[in-house]
Amino acid sequence: MAIPTRFPIRFKILVAVLFVITAVVGIITFTMANLFHADKKTYIHDLVSVVALNTAAFLMPAAKRLPLSLCVPKLRLRHRTARRKARSAALFVGSTPS
């Protein structure tokens, strides 16, 4: 005949507490993983939006500019250029003023 194994009450309580703590830690881990995944999706979505907006803002001025071959100097530079040409013509030996 086999002798029945008896476990002390302390051991039974210890095993019960171990199972409860394991279950609680598992639930907390599962919940935190889900929250982290949702936050990560939101973070990535926000990051992609910010990068797209910054790229668009950076590229917009370049898209609005004319090619260098079609650009006309600013008015201020055109005046300086005309005056400089007039002075050069006057100082140039043998030139006739126009």
Q: Would 15 be classed as within a structural domain?
A: yes
Write the pLDDT tens digit of every residue in 25-72. Answer: 999 999 999 999 888 888 888 888 888 888 877 776 666 666 666 666
Could you tell me if residue 86 is inside a domain? Answer: no
Question: Has residue 84 been placed in a domain?
Answer: no
Count of the separate structural domains present in the chain: 1
In a domain, 75, yes or no: no
Instruction: Judge whether 41 lies within some domain.
Output: yes
**Is the overall model pTM greater than 0.75, yes or no?**
no
- DSSP labels for 28-94? HHHHHHHHHHHHHHHHHHHHHHHHHHHHHHHHHHHHHSPPGGG----HHHHHHHHHHHHHHHHHSTT
Alpha-carbon distance of 17 to 25, in angstroms, equals: 12
Instruction: Note down the domain range covering 42.
Output: 10-64
Mean pLDDT value across residues 5-24? 95
Domain for residue 31, yes or no? yes
Q: Decide if 35 is inside a domain.
A: yes
